[in-house]
Amino acid sequence: MTNPPAFYWLDGRLHRADHAPASIFEHGLHYGTGVFEGIRAYDTADGPAIFRLDAHLDRLQRGADALGLAVDTAALARGCATTLRANGHRAAYLRPIAWFSGPGLGLDVGPLRSRQAVATLPWTSHLGEGAVDRGIALRTSSMRRNSRWSIPPLKLTGAYVNGILAKKEATDHGFDEALFLDADGLVCECTGENVLCVLDGRLVAVEHPDALPGITRDTLIALTGAEARPVRAEELAGADEIFVVGTSAEVTPVTRLDGRALRVGPATRELAALYQDVVHGRAEAHRGWLTPVDPALPGEAAWGGLLADAGRC
Ligand code: PMP
């Protein structure tokens, strides 16, 4: 049984989860001037381990650079391990986040200071319990994904309002998730996942310059040699199999695209199983993607109260 989070990490220290030190003047609260990551830790045979931590923190750094936000990714890496241990989580979703704080609410972020935090949650897929087995219904959105010419496709907090609105439209119509197309009819991505499909028997990873460069997509391309290329909406509509991939969603089959029902095909099943082997450290060649978190180090949760991060990772 996974423990609910008792602690989070902020600016180098652990805090009790019920303690909220943020001010109403946090710049990130008003304007979405922050960057975050969604990472998973898995319970492997060698203990808890974080999957592709470096790739996630590199992407967070790129988002921070785009905003001109100072981040310390080494400290965030320590914060991830410290928070997992403090919460007693062997498997969890990790949420590192950095944002502009005060002083001031002007739009020039130059003078602002940054803050950074990590929360860990006993979370399964954001697409819902069992979505990985059951599959999801995807609805083509009437909205467009943020264009890269407006906001870079990185995990900038404010950019997620785009996906939240599209997701709302999809769920209001009884679907699980929204699919973004661009103005030329090319498939972009979903609100929290990239799209892969089987076209004429070949595995294809949808490529689009407005889509988030997903780490799960990258993992699956590395594992399978899937072809990465632009895909037209009509091609996707006729695909043999469709599935969406992401850190939280893992490999989730699409069983409905608008009016069309799809089966969960053999490639989807095979890749979902392969992905589980890799993230759980059962694929020897890919153990390097896992960062072990030694749960035997002092159990911060047992100490209680406000604790300094002693820099253990
Ligand atoms: N697209 C968007 C918009 C996302 O938020 C996510 C989740 N991070 C993904 C794709 C999948 O990315 P990843 O595999 O790195 O989690």
Per DSSP, what are the bridge partners of residue 10? 13, 117
pLDDT-based confidence at residue 152 (cuts at 50, 70, 90): very high
The span from the CA of 198 to the CA of 118, in Å, is 37
Residue 294 has pLDDT above 90, yes or no: no
Atom of ligand 1 nearest to the CA of 37: 8
From 216, 218, 278, the mutation candidate for ligand 1 (largest count of ligand atoms within 8 A of CB) is 216
- Between the CA of 257 and the centroid of ligand 1 the distance, in Å, is 20
- Between the CA of 230 and the centroid of ligand 1 the distance, in Å, is 17
Per DSSP, what are the bridge partners of residue 275? none
Cβ < 6 A, ligand 1 pocket:
38, 163, 189, 191-194, 212, 214-217, 246-247
- Between the CA of 303 and the centroid of ligand 1 the distance, in Å, is 35
Locate 33 and state its tokens: 């001037």
Of all protein residues, the one whose alpha carbon is nearest to atom 7 of ligand 1 is 192
Residues 154 and 59: beta-carbon distance below 8 Å:
yes
Residue 305 has pLDDT above 50, yes or no: no
pLDDT given at position 6: 86
The span from the CA of 233 to the CA of 180, in Å, is 10
The span from the CA of 150 to the CA of 65, in Å, is 16
Atom of ligand 1 nearest to the CA of 59: 15
- Between the CA of 214 and the centroid of ligand 1 the distance, in Å, is 5
Residues 84 and 120: beta-carbon distance below 8 Å:
yes
The model's pLDDT over 231-245, given as tens digits with 9 standing for 90+, comes to 999 999 999 999 999
Catalytic hit among 59, 78, 139, 155: 155
Q: Per the omega criterion (within 30 degrees of 0), is the bond before 111 cis?
A: no
Per DSSP, what are the bridge partners of residue 308? 13
From 151, 180, 191, 194, the mutation candidate for ligand 1 (largest count of ligand atoms within 8 A of CB) is 194
For residue 155, indicate whether it is catalytic: yes
pLDDT-based confidence at residue 3 (cuts at 50, 70, 90): low
Atom of ligand 1 nearest to the CA of 216: 14
Residue 273 has pLDDT above 90, yes or no: yes
- Between the CA of 212 and the centroid of ligand 1 the distance, in Å, is 6
Of all protein residues, the one whose alpha carbon is nearest to atom 6 of ligand 1 is 192
The model's pLDDT over 21-54, given as tens digits with 9 standing for 90+, comes to 778 889 999 999 999 999 999 999 999 999 999 9
Residues 47 and 295: beta-carbon distance below 8 Å:
yes
- Between the CA of 271 and the centroid of ligand 1 the distance, in Å, is 18
pLDDT-based confidence at residue 297 (cuts at 50, 70, 90): low
pLDDT-based confidence at residue 128 (cuts at 50, 70, 90): confident
The contacts of residue 264 (CB under 8 Å, 6+ apart) are: 135, 241, 253, 255
From 52, 127, 212, the mutation candidate for ligand 1 (largest count of ligand atoms within 8 A of CB) is 212
